[in-house]
Amino acid sequence: MKFSHYFATCLAAASTTNAFAPSFTTKVRNSKALFSSSTTEPSTYASVERYVNDHPNNNIPPHIAALVGRGLHTKEDHPIGIVRAKIQDYFNSLDEDYKIFDAEDPIVTCKQCFDDLRIEPDHPGRSPSDTYYINDETLLRTHTSAHQSMHLRDGYERFLCAGDVYRRDEIDASHYPAFHQLEGVKLFDKDQVKGADGLSKEEWLASPECKMIADDLKNVLEGLMDHLFGPVEKKWSEDFFPFTEPSFECEILYNGEWLEVLGCGVVHNEVLEMAGREDRRGWAFGLGLERLAMILFEIPDIRLFWTDDERFHKQFKAGTITKFKPYSKYPPVFKDIAFWLPEDFVENDFFELARGIAGDLVERMELTDEFTNPKTNKTSKCYRITYRSMDRSLTDEEINDLQNKLREEVVSLGVEVR
């Protein structure tokens, strides 16, 4: 997965915190340190009825609502929680104190999730085909950055924010509609950037103060990469995110392969202005915890993070990175489905429909054929669906039933099954 996807949907940022008590106590250096986490009970958010309602624009299916409240990022023996803890430990080791947020409400407003981050009204990420809406104004957060402006308005100057986020997406081993992100934000003292007062946009981007912030950001994140992966070679490239300028992407050379690991940048001045912090400057970064955990633990399928199988969970221990040992490899079952498309067909809607019918038994959905009839000008697509359980062998009967149900229900998307 291209990692800028996480940052582009989460920074400022994948793919905010969930409603759970912290799984470990954060270090406090002095009486002014701000390392306390929320202690909201998990049951506050773990309620399907809270997210599924009869509003005409509610598009949250029960199988997605049932994932909210799991709190994988706070479980100390879970790979997601282990990676999160290692990141937090690194920031605890720095000379500056960072407030930790990990228990915020997963329901946010469109303003929090999009407007405050300069994400335009016509941005595809705001589409119901990409985002889970509760009603016209509220949704399941698509990135941890949905809480950033609130924390800035509340006066926080350095903080980390971790939690579960939700986005409709393709179906394969590295994509899942619920995932976890962590972002960090740091504002600089006014005296450190006073030389940039009154500068135009172009002057600011060329200023030594802007370069100082970008260099500090890269230095902190390079230290984080070494903390997680050991000393590794890094390279930086320019990128674009609506909420940072300039923006960067970081890659590391790990096990002989260059891997995209995070997106980051200098917080856009307009974002700071909307948060009432127009007199300050700072940086922000965002990363996906599943992405890092799959690399570090060598976990091949993102669905495994959500399994209740003890053969998975007993392999991991707090504070320890261990290579995942596959405990089974049940055979796949392949089924094809082809249909003529309506003009407004959206692929994510088809993927979501399949998830709603077969849940995590759908391992992969891939387009295998596409053609347009020259006489009718109608387009047909054929998808190969890979069904596979991580825990047991599937029977032909149950898969045929699921496939038949998919063929029946896909017509609700306006397609004509071939």
pLDDT tens track, the chain, 418 positions: 333 333 434 333 333 322 222 222 233 233 233 333 444 544 478 889 999 999 999 999 999 999 999 999 999 999 999 999 999 999 999 999 999 999 899 999 999 999 999 999 999 999 999 999 999 999 999 999 999 999 999 999 999 999 999 999 999 999 999 999 999 999 999 999 999 999 999 999 999 999 999 999 999 999 999 999 999 999 999 999 999 999 999 999 999 999 999 999 999 999 999 999 999 999 999 999 999 999 999 999 999 999 999 999 999 999 999 999 999 889 999 999 999 999 999 999 999 999 999 999 999 999 999 999 999 999 999 999 999 998 899 999 999 999 999 999 999 999 999 9
109 φ/ψ angles, rounded to the nearest 5 degrees: -95, 165
Give the residue extent of every domain in the chain: 4-297, 333-417
Q: What would the two tokens of residue 38 be?
A: 């929320």
pLDDT at 25: 27
CATH number at 333-417: 3.30.70.380
Q: Report the alpha-carbon distance of residue 68 to residue 38 in Å, rounded.
A: 17
Task: Using the CB atoms, write b or e for 12-28: b if 16+ within 10 Å.
Answer: bbbbbbbbbebbeebee
Q: Report the alpha-carbon distance of residue 278 to residue 270 in Å, rounded.
A: 8
* Beta strand extents in 242-378 (DSSP E only): 244-254, 257-267, 281-288, 333-340, 362-372
Q: Cβ of 321: how many Cβ atoms within 10 Å?
A: 16
Residues 6 or more apart whose CB falls under 8 angstroms from that of 411 comprise 417
Homologous superfamily (CATH) for 4-297: Bira Bifunctional Protein; Domain 2 (3.30.930.10)
